[in-house]
Chain A
Amino acid sequence: MLISYEWLKEYIDLSDVSPEELADKLTLHGVEVDAVTHLDAEISNLVVGEVISCEPHPDADKLKICEVNIGEEENVQIVCGAANVAQGQFVPVAKVGGRLPGGVKIKRAKLRGQVSEGMICSLQELGFEGKVVPKKYSEGIYAFPEEVIPGMDAVEVLGLRDTVLELDLTPNRSDCLSLLGVAYEAGAILDREVHVPEPKIVPAKEAAEDYVKVTVEAKDANPYYGATMIRDIHISESPLWLQTALMAAGVRPLNNVVDITNYVLLEYGQPLHAFDFDRFGSNEVVVRRAREEESMTTLDGEERTLSSSHLVITNGQAPTALAGVMGGATSEVEDDSVNILLEAAYFDPAVVRQAQRDLGIRSDSSIRFEKGVDPNRVVKAGERAASLIQQLAGGSVLSQPVEYDELNREEKELDITLDRINHSLGTSLSEEDTMNILERLKFDATVKNGTFSINVPTRRQDISIEPDIVEEVARLFGYDNIPVTLPNTPSTKGGLTAAQKQKRSVRRYLESCGLHEAVSYSLTTPQKEAAFEALSAPRVHVALPMSEERSSLRTTLLPHLLDALSHNRNRNLYNVSLYEIGSVFHTDADIVTEQPEEKTYLAGAFTGLWEEHAWQGEKKQVDFFVVKGILEGLLAELKADVAFEKAEQQGMHPGRTANVLVNGEVAGIIGQLHPVTAKEWSLPEVYVFELNLAGLLGKQEDVMRYQAIPRYPAIERDIALVVDKSVSAGTLERVIRENGGNLLADVRLFDLYEGEHVASDKKSVAFSLRYLDREKTLTDEDVAAVHEQVLEGLREETGAVLRA
């Protein structure tokens, strides 16, 4: 909402309050002012000029040579390129040495050989937005609609000696969608009176009822409809003051009648509509629900298809306006209109809101009706407009509007105690303080034994319960004046749950491993996941996605991590290790009606070099075992019982992928991305892992117990085993452990060899076994017995023989 400071001054005394001070005060008390713009800030030396003569330029088709009286001894010659410049016009002229918005400086110039001393300006050149400039002047210079004395300060004449406050209103303060509303707000803050205009109408003797009938069929949606008949008007351009007021408020002037309805809309916050009665199509206004599929053309030229949830004004047959939203094209007021019907009505907010949503129209009318206009201002606004029309467009206002009236205009009554106010705020306001605030708000209130009885004016539709009054008192008392205290609650134990703590330690661990934490979008496209899961698998889809790319909820974290690897690779960042912790969304239903299962997943993706010390020539490419090592460390951190088993998984390298088993259950995968999948992302060798953290987090941690440091030395035995290639290292280690008994403290694989001296279908695997007895010093004989058992076990189960 744009508020002209000069216009606002018509309703409240602001002589000692600058626009900036007013803006600060409004903001601090709850009506945020986003910007304060001085319209004349960048303009100097702008005067009124009278075009004395206007001749074509001898050497340029599109230029004209004008002699202009700018109130000085000598007329000046100005070369002007506007098509609409003409003799006899009064125009804004920027003199030589003058300045215009955008840093434009006016200099004496020669245009195709002709001297030009100044510039005749368009409104756009004076800083007005194109959309508020009257259509007549939108392609050329502006001409004042009335005679003005040449040489006068044109800034003044154009109403540019003004400041506009741009309000950023919260949805509850629709009362401030009007100058009067803002005046009441300023009045409450500044403790001042508000002057409401008193319409003066000289009614004609004829009765409107003789000309027009009003029938409201949709009574619930339209509790008040008033139609004022005004005859024999003269449509013209509005006077300057009206045009400039509208333009400052961001509204394009059209003609006097339409401008007046807009002026009153801005003034009272009450939308009005003027119909050309001669084009209305009948003598009866019928307000009814639209029929299904009924169509009408609104005055923006759009053909609209309506439904029964919309309300229309009709001539008994066809719709002539979409109630509260926009007029119809057929009965629009035009230059030749003579008799008009002025509508002032109250339309149900929900109905207007519905139409606004369904049809995608947000008009100055609809945004006011949808919030609920002041029922006590509807009739007054109509009278105000009628009086202005009479004043500016002539015509006779027929006595009494024709009305349908079932409107509830009662004020809401609220009771609240002083204690309630003070206890809510932590303040110690007195009855008098509070009463003073209510008076400033112009709320009708009485107080008895600490209880206030308040009649809330109908202009404040947002106030309906006690806390609303508390807020009104608080904001006028000043939030700054509320004391600072701490809650007087029993002490509570703050902290993280076990799962939250573990999630943090997962992050710390992975950071220390050298991984960057990624955060990516939850919304994705099924196509991206097709590499890992069948496209047909049920997914959670967004009902009306903004794009295909963000149309369903991810079921895996991997695709977006791969996107991130690609993004980095495209920027020549080849060595990247990322992880992400986030939710994935799984469902079994084809049509999702219940909340999907949200699981916290952890995934990692690696590509390029894992270690590099360039000048020493050391390099290590990331491989399966780098990632496995990280994962093993992580799962140790989470005290999980973990195992890996070879697995096949869509999108993964069939020979280099494993299931991660936690407590014997599959909790995730690890492996190399299938080269074909990698290629889809334009990536080279990539390793990934993904884990469901659900089973891993949240276990209450046991208190850690210290284990005594062994007092006796351990004995190490190294063995090199030759086995079939198909025998996995995991199997060998398991057999060793199973046969090593209590004395076997540790097993470590330290060598793997295939090649010369080993048969081609065999491999040599070397382990280091550490034996330890916590009770005594081990002898060679003690170890030999167990060790032999281990070798025996290996021979039997795996066919392993000791390498010679």
Chain B
Amino acid sequence: MEDVAIVGASMTRFGQRDAWIRQLLAEAGQACLEDAGVSADAVEHLYVSNMASGEFEGQTGVPNALAHDLQAVPAYTARIDQTSSSGGAGIYAAWQSVASGASDMTLLVGGEKMTHRSTAEATDVIASLTHPCEYKHGLTLPSFAGLTARLYLDTYDAPRESLGKVAVKNHKNGVDNPHAQFRKEVDLETVLDSPVVADPLRLYDFCPITDGSAALLLCPVSVAEEYADDYVTVTGIGGATDTHVVHERADPTTMRGVVESSDRAYEMAGLSPDDVDVAELHDMFTILEFLQFEDLGFAEKGEGWKAVEEGRTDRDGELPINTSGGLKSKGHPLGASGVAQAYEVVQQLRGEAGKRQVDADVGLACNVGGFGNCVTTAIFEGVDA
């Protein structure tokens, strides 16, 4: 099995964009190739992480469209849809293509165009991933978050304010991210006084609806050294699922997909949670940062909320979480998010994160689809060639 390197990374500005899905994907894809200094005709495999361009925009067949727009024809193409974790699943597919020897140069581009739809329409597109027994009751991803947050706070005697502090922290981080949708700090009082969306969660506990795209270029380590002095390796990756029907989980406050996928990633990398220096978690809702923090092994079950209370997950804390601002501040264009998480980790490991820079040799990204239904966890390490 080939060791896999990332030699190029890019992301577009996230937020409300005039561009449509094809333009967003091309913008990130082109920037990624330029970042690596690789020409499009060297691309052998091209993957597009995207949940719902057909439903949002009426544009299907986006991988082939992108191959043509980038002049990457005749590269093999495929679309990776794993709902909100399409980006992570795309990293897995791109990694497989290189590790297996099937491709010596794989471009992964994740993207979504959402903001032309109303919040209610976008929520319904995302909620279409639910089981019929959930959908008919009007269950949405935010309502699953509200259900889980109430149970978490009650079970572990955690203060409501601790969830608000996740939003405060991630907004603060987002200020220094030029690609983030929101570059504005919020205080705890604003978070706790914002309108209720899914009790006990309020508006600032939720990520926004976002347009955007991000890209990675992967190749064997033996090839990477031709293109870059500093590159990043994918040393561990794991993917896993949990039940489709959310209420059938034995412990609703544990995301089994996170546990299983990270166990596999740690084992592959030969690392433990203690070795991770920086991590991007899927904070689509503030409660998800606690669940992943615990299920990735960074804290005991029910103790994750204390990390944010004590500042341990701040940018200058012992384990900075979501230095990019997270989905909460940076935005969440569904198919792009997992790729953009990796982009932030790559920036940190290359030492190119600017004001967001932390001291890191090992980074982790955890991308969650549905309400923990599908998860990819990836571990990256920096290499100075």
Q: Do A and B come from one complex?
A: no
Please list the residues of chain A having a beta carbon within 8 angstroms of any beta carbon in chain B: none
